[in-house]
Amino acid sequence: MVTPFSQDGAVDYEVAERLADHLVNQGSDGLVVCGTTGESPTLTWDEEYQLFKTVKQAVAGRAQVIAGTGSNSTQEAIEATRKASHLGLDGALQVVPYYNKPPQEGLYQHFSQIAQAVPDLPLMLYNIPGRTGCNLAVETISRLAQISNIVAIKEASGSLDQVSQIRYHTPSEFLIYSGDDSLTLPILAVGGCGVVSVASHLVGEAIQRMIQAYETGQAQLATQIHLHLLPLFKALFITTNPVPVKVALGLQGWQVGAVRLPLCQPDDAVKATLAEVLHQVSDLGAGAIAQG
């Protein structure tokens, strides 16, 4: 979920509350708050904590709320996760420590100590080497999956082979979520269960339908929906996320504000591309997909 900002750059909790309600009504089973798309690197811990409370109140048990409390400091991650756990949230997203580039044993100890500190809170690992500079190896994931409250991974390495290897080396109850909208359907085919999505801000019902179609044996329909949405999936990454999705939400009338520095607003060409793709996705084929 994006973090809305007012014109003066402050977090707009009122818009966050409305947006959270909207996302649940549009097909999202859960909301990750203060993740990458939520601009967590430029939020203070106090802002994040208030966002957790705001979103939990907004969804009122209708969807899971997952707190992005990861850090490249193990102690900071423990403290933030402990504080979030007191709110009665449904889980926490734990990103691979960035910049430090720890060895695999250091990664194992980082996540296992967080899990030990909050034994009753389910944790989702978050592997995104393109941002962190460090890949969480399959062998390390396999070890971590043996810890009772490490229950899932958001896998954004871009490697279907890695996803296949994770599925092979972890128990069936360990959940694998795609971290890339464009890879959701392929990841479902190798044992994934869903997606932590950016595009769901705009086409949540269609993504939900695609996943349900695949799970009910309607692979052709799932592929049709995937291909229909593919231009949007790609357009949302023509510059750094969450810049495009915030622009796209603005085009749909949401006052989510700009991004915080060092991110910045895109040029007019990016805005024009997003407007064209949004029109294309909404114009192409809701009827054709419905008949599929």
Which residues are part of the catalytic machinery?
A: 126, 154
Burial group, residue 46, by CB count within 10 angstroms (0-12, 13-18, 19+) = exposed
Strands 91-95 and 123-127, sheet pairing: parallel
Which residue type does 31 have?
Answer: L
| Residue 97 backbone phi and psi in degrees, to 5 | -55, 130
